[in-house]
Each structure stands twice: as structure tokens, then as C-alpha cells.
Structure 1
Amino acid sequence: MTANERHIKAVDFFCSGGGMSCGMQQAGIEVIAGIDFDITCKETYEANIKGSQFLHKDVFKLEEKELEETLKLKKNDDNLLLIGCSPCQFWSIIKTDKSKSTKSKDLLKEFRRFVEYFNPGYVVVENVPGVLRRKGESGLDDFIIWLESNNYKVHAEVHEVSNYGVPQHRRRFTLIANRVSDVELKPLPRVGEKLRVQDVIGEHNGFPKVSPGNKDSSKFMHTVAGLNKLNLERLAVTPKNGGTRMSYVFDKKLAVPCHYGKVDGFKDIYGRMWWDRPAPTITTKFFSISNGRFVHPYEDRAISLREGAVLQSFPKNYIFMTKSIATTARMIGNAVPPTYAKAVGESIINNHNAV
């Protein structure tokens, strides 16, 4: 069999802005299509994932035969990889309104339809660790049982992405199923020290100092949310490099009323990142200092959109074709960190080359 005949082709379900597809391409896998119901992802996906087709489809309505004909896929293809990183808000431990995400809890079951139909050589599923706590309801339990009974070697564990070259603490559930060999595939860890905030942002990394409210209309998007006078005063007394709201917890003017005098509880809000550590988890609200430890280590502002993106391990030249700070941050925060996706893809490539 020639090298071309052994070339892995991937279809990325729930592709969003392309974080998983980007990492898979970096690993050397050909991503032939990304599928998402959210049309606002289309421009960003197509601008970055060259050679891949964006399919604007509702997976609940998409038929297996339609996908087979559209992409000219084959059943029982050892070279086919199906990826399913469904939206994870319903399974998140973060206390948010789950009513809007209730439908998304069944997306894994819908993805399974396509795995059963095509019987690909490889399957990848990525989600929040919370999906494990309710794996019966999510369909994960039954899916793993089906995979193992159909000759897949299954790896299903929670991984800390900072061990794989991402400059951020983030725990993610990852399933890699392989029926091409009897090897359990795991993401390939990065050798050496973990990347830190200072390794990817700061003036020495091409991020000039900016003020709150900075608007960058270029593709670099070094755009920062604005701050009111009180928040500027809070940041002025927050120690650099890891400082928290504890610096003004007993100041009636500066402390948030519900936090005044309270030294326990959640300390990350209004907190600064550490320069010499990986960033905290980049959420969809990383542009807001009241939603986590998202203050720049040394500048009195929240991190910018581009800083959030590189802390998620997106390349600096990744283009976000979005209309607002909130929309861009949501796309970035919801993404699979590309460098972590690359580590997953490399394990698959290495296995395929060894068979």
C-alpha cells in the first residue's frame, strides 16, 4: 500500500472555529470537512482550515448516507478518522443555566450513529471531565462498550493540557479509539518544562502594552475590554504577578459588596495571572476581569482577545472572523486547544505509520 493510500482523512463534527481541525492538520492529518450547526463559525473555519469543507448541518437531521455521498466516504476505511467534540456546557461543573444546552447533551449519541455506520479506523471524542460523572446519561458508557465490542482499543481518560505544550491549566476528557492495531493510543506529552504565560505573551512576544478599551481592528485583534473607574482603582492596588482581590478585601470602597471582609471563597475573580506559570483555564469570559483570574500579570487590564487565543495555543496568525469581543471570546474559550489536538493527532499518525 502506498503512502497516499495510507493517508489519514478526518471529519471534524461540531468543529466550531477549528481548534481541533487546526491541531490535526499540524499533526499531518488531512481534515476533509468540518461540520457545525452554528453558521457564525463558517468564515473563521474556512479562513484557517485550508482544504477543508465547512458543512453547515444540524447533526440531529444529518443522515449518514448524505454525509457518505457529500464527502465520498467509504465504510470500514482504516484511514478514516471521525472526531466528535460536542459542545460541553451541559456537562460542565460550572454553575450556569443549563436550559439552553439541554439538547446538546445528546450530541454524543448522534455522533455515535456515524461511527457505527462508517466503522472508521479511528475515533476521537473530547469533552469536559464532567461527562465522566454522568457517563450513563451522556451515552459515553454505552458508546465505549460498543467500541470495545467492535474491536476498537479504547483510551478514555482526563488529561491536563499543560502537559502537552499548552500554556494553560485545563483538564479535558479525551477518548481515542483505534481498531487498526491493538495499541491503546494516548496523546503524546511534551518533553521539557511546561510553557508559562511569559513564554507566549508580553512585549518580547509581540504584544505591545495597551490600555483597557483598546480596539485593534487588524487581524491581530489585540483588543481589550474597557474598565470603569472603580475597576481601574482595584487593579491599581492589586499586586503584580498573581495578585488578588485580597489586597482590598477590607476596603469598603474597593471591595465588591458581597466580598467585603471575606477572605475565603473564590479568590480568582479580579485576580492577575502569574507570569511564570501556565494560565488558568481560558473560559468564554476571559475578556472580563470579574469572571476569573484574567487580569494581565503586569498591566492594569484584562488580557486581550489575541492573548487569550495564544494561551489557548492558537497560532498568532489565526484569523477570527467575528463581530464582537464576546463572540470572539466564546469561540476561543470553547475551542479544543490546537496544540493538544496535535498531540492527539500525532499519536494516531505514529500508530498508523507503525502498522
Structure 2
Amino acid sequence: MSFTVADIFSGAGGMSLGFHAHRDFRVVGAADAQIGKPSSRLGSLRCNDTYQANIGVNPLEVDLAKVSPAAIREVWGLKRGQLDVLLACPPCSGFSRITAANHLRDDPRNSLVGRIAAYVEELRPKVMLLENARELVKGKQRHHFVGLADELTRIGYVVSGDTHMFSRFGLPQLRERSLVIAVDAGLPLLTMDDLWAGREVRKAAVTVRRAIGRLPAVGAGEAHPEDEIHVSPTFKQGRTMERMRAIPADGGSWADLLKSPDTEQLLNPAQLKIVEAGRWGSHPDVYGRMWWDEPARTIKRECSHVGNGRYAHPDQDRLCTVREMALLQGFPRSFRFDVSILGNAYRHVGDAVPPLIAHQLAALVKWILTGQRPAARDLCLRGTSLRPGDIRPVEVAELVA
């Protein structure tokens, strides 16, 4: 049995990998414009080579807002209705509540959500999956989701959209995201809530320690000799390294520097301004270290600097490496990133649908298509931190918690 899968907005391949690693699915096509920012040129993100290296399919470099869905179908060599699964995860930057401008305007990239309906109508897959920021379903710009759902319903699909905290499903990261599932008429509409009904993950399975605790130590700017992807940027400014060394291990942040006159002098002007205003918000997460025995905080696309979030190693004086970020994002150890442009590699990690979650979605889709409910072992992607023994019936988990 082999179900066909195609991926638009395929990125570095996080969503596709979850299906590629499942024995019952075969990826037959992918497409991505490789644009990092609206102002970037076509191909600047360089994610398609990473996709091909890991999935074995060469994505089309096309602007999916402009290209004809019929042309895509023809290039992929598919007849209408031949595709089993369409993966469609457009850029999420325009929806994220982290970006202040998104509260004031509707980012033009958000219209790509509605564009998905044209691809669904042309390809006529049995199942369509979309993952995006939480705000797609619950935020100010949710009219894009409503419009897509209405259009999919018009052409004969049944649609579900909801938000989920992915740590509930075994990802060692507090990552809340929207998942939209559409099934062609006649197929059962099942969701991640159905997949995980009666099941629960042990808390110890979703910690930073479980995911990266056994990796060898490396210095900032150094790659481990046996894993070139286990590398992080150098600290170009001596002051940044001094600040990092002064921040306490295991969950410390720059706010802790205020406890001593010797370390308070290491604060930068932006931090001093926050202290003066007394408006802390989430600012202490900047330059923050991860906690060993908690999930990582959300790994965003701009995770390539300690000044962008709680991305510092729990006790080593550096940003978490690409490999560490990838493991926390549910990539298996076997996945290969191009680290020749280190910033792009971090963006590929942060932009991705966690492959561990995508693998569970593959199991869910198989259930929809065959009627066979997956076992707990089917929810674990080989090479990631989640193991079958971490998943227990809810009643057992409650007794031993």
C-alpha cells in the first residue's frame, strides 16, 4: 500500500519528512519559492536543496501565488483526483502575534491561505493538511481560515481547524500551532484529538534534557568533528560573551544580571530602557537560557541569535546549535542541513513543521484512508526524542504522575 503525497510551500521538508519516513506514503511532488522575506529574491532561502537531499524529490521553484495549479499538476504528472494527500503550509509570519505589525494590518502573504483552495480544486486530493501559527484559527486575521474553509466546503470537503500545544504530542517544545484538516466527502474527519484520545506523554519525555542532554559540548562558533551540523555562531562582540557567561545556568536570563553591581554593568541600552520603564513582558526571555527539565520555548524562524529569544544552551555559553534546535523541533538525527549559510539553516529549522508531528499526521491520515487506528509506536519518529514507552494510557499516566 502506498499513498501519494505532494507538498506546496514545502520549505526544507519538515512536513514532507513525516510522511516520507512512513512506509505507507510516497512523496511525488513539492514546490517552494524559497523566499525568506517579502523583499527577498526568488531562491534566497535556499531550502529546496535541503529538501531534495533529505526527501529525494526536487521541489519546483515557483511563486505559488502566481503559477497555475493546473501547470503544477501537469509537471508533477498527476491526473485530477490521483493525489491522496496535499500538504499546504504557507508562511506564518503574517499571522504570528509576536510581530507587532500583524495587530495593525493584514500581511499580503496571508492571502496565500485562500490560494490553497485553488490547488485543492485542481488536484482533488483525498486529504488536505495545513499547519500555521495559532492566530490563523483564533487570531485577528482568522477570516483567511474562514474563507478557505468556506471554499473547501463549497467544492465538497469537510473541514476542521483547531489549535494544539505540540508538547502534548511529545514535542520537547512549547509550540502552539493551528492544524487544518480537510477530507473529501465520504471520508471520516479525524483530528489529532482523536489520534491522542486516551493517550498521554510522560512529562520527562518532553524536556530539553531528553532531547539534547547527551550531545557533546562544543564552543560558540565550533562544529563537532563528527557532526558538522552541531555548530552555532561565534559571538562577534566581546560584551555579548561576557553577558552570556554571567547569566546563571539552567533557565537564567539577563534579568538575573540586576542582582549584582558587577553584572548589572553588562546590560545593553535596550535592556536598561526596559528596566527603567518597568515593562518586562516576555523580555527576560531574550538572552535567556533554556531549562534542562522543561520543554524549550517556541523556536521561531529568527532563532539564530541569543538576542531573539530563550535560545541559549542551559549551561554552555553559546546559542544552541543547529543540531540542538533541530532535535527540539522534532527532526531526527539523520536529517542533514546545509550550514554554509548558518542563518538560513536556523531559519529552515524554525520555519518547519516539526517532523515528529508530521509523522503523527501521516499516521492520522492512514487512519482516515484505511480505518485502522494507529498504535502508540506509530506516533514515534525514529531518531527523535519520543519513544513508544513514553506514551501511556491516560489512566496509567495519572496514577504515576
TM-score, normalized by the shorter chain, greater than 0.5: yes
Q: CA separation of 1:219/1:112 partners in 2, compared to 1, >3 Å: closer, same or farther?
A: farther
Alignment of structure 1 residues 93-104 onto 2, 5 Å = 93-95=97-99, 102-104=107-109
Does 2:196 align with 1:196? no
Residues of 2 paired with 1:186 and 1:291: CA distance?
Answer: 33
Aligned to 1:35: 31
Aligned to 2:89: 85
Aligned to 2:254: 245
Q: CA separation of 1:181/1:322 partners in 2, compared to 1, >3 Å: closer, same or farther?
A: farther
Amino acid at match of 2:238: K
- Residue 83 of structure 1: how far off its partner (Å): 1.4
Q: Deviations over 1:89-134 (max 9, x none)?
A: 11111226779x9442221222211112232211111111122324
Between 284-293 and 127-136, report the one with greater CA deviation.
127-136
Q: CA separation of 1:247/1:134 partners in 2, compared to 1, >3 Å: closer, same or farther?
A: closer
Q: Deviations over 1:276-301 (max 9, x none)?
A: 11111111232311111111111111
Residues of 2 paired with 1:164 and 1:316: CA distance?
Answer: 19
Q: Deviations over 1:263-315 (max 9, x none)?
A: 63321011110101111111123231111111111111111111111111111
Q: Is the 8 A contact 1:245 1:267 kept in 2?
A: yes
Amino acid at match of 1:48: N
Give unpaired runs (5+ residues) of structure 2: 35-42, 373-401
- Report the count of equivalent residues: 343
RMSD of aligned Cα (Å): 2.4
Amino acid at match of 2:212: I
Amino acid at match of 1:158: T
Q: Deviations over 1:145-192 (max 9, x none)?
A: 232344423220011111122111111111011126453321234742
Q: CA separation of 1:96/1:323 partners in 2, compared to 1, >3 Å: closer, same or farther?
A: farther
Does 2:344 align with 1:327? yes
TM-score (norm. length: structure 1): 0.88
- Residue 49 of structure 1: how far off its partner (Å): 0.3
Which of 104, 122, 129 does residue 124 from structure 1 map onto? 129
2:364 partner SS? helix
Residues of 2 paired with 1:286 and 1:69: CA distance?
Answer: 37
Q: Is the 8 A contact 1:135 1:141 kept in 2?
A: no
Between 244-253 and 273-282, report the one with greater CA deviation.
244-253
Aligned to 2:163: 158
- Residue 20 of structure 1: how far off its partner (Å): 0.4
Residues of 2 paired with 1:217 and 1:208: CA distance?
Answer: 10
Q: Is the 8 A contact 1:32 1:53 kept in 2?
A: no
Aligned to 2:383: none
Q: Is the 8 A contact 1:249 1:259 kept in 2?
A: no
Amino acid at match of 1:168: Q
Alignment of structure 1 residues 6-45 onto 2, 5 Å = 7-27=2-22, 28-38=24-34, 39=43, 40-45=46-51
Does 2:303 align with 1:286? yes
Q: Deviations over 1:31-53 (max 9, x none)?
A: 11110111312211110002x34
Residues of 2 paired with 1:235 and 1:53: CA distance?
Answer: 41
2:21 partner SS? helix
Which of 259, 267, 270 does residue 258 from structure 1 map onto? 270
- Residue 18 of structure 1: how far off its partner (Å): 0.3
1:249 partner SS? helix
Give unpaired runs (5+ residues) of structure 1: none
Q: Is the 8 A contact 1:213 1:224 kept in 2?
A: yes
Q: Is the 8 A contact 2:117 2:151 kept in 1?
A: no
1:222 partner SS? strand
Aligned to 1:69: 74
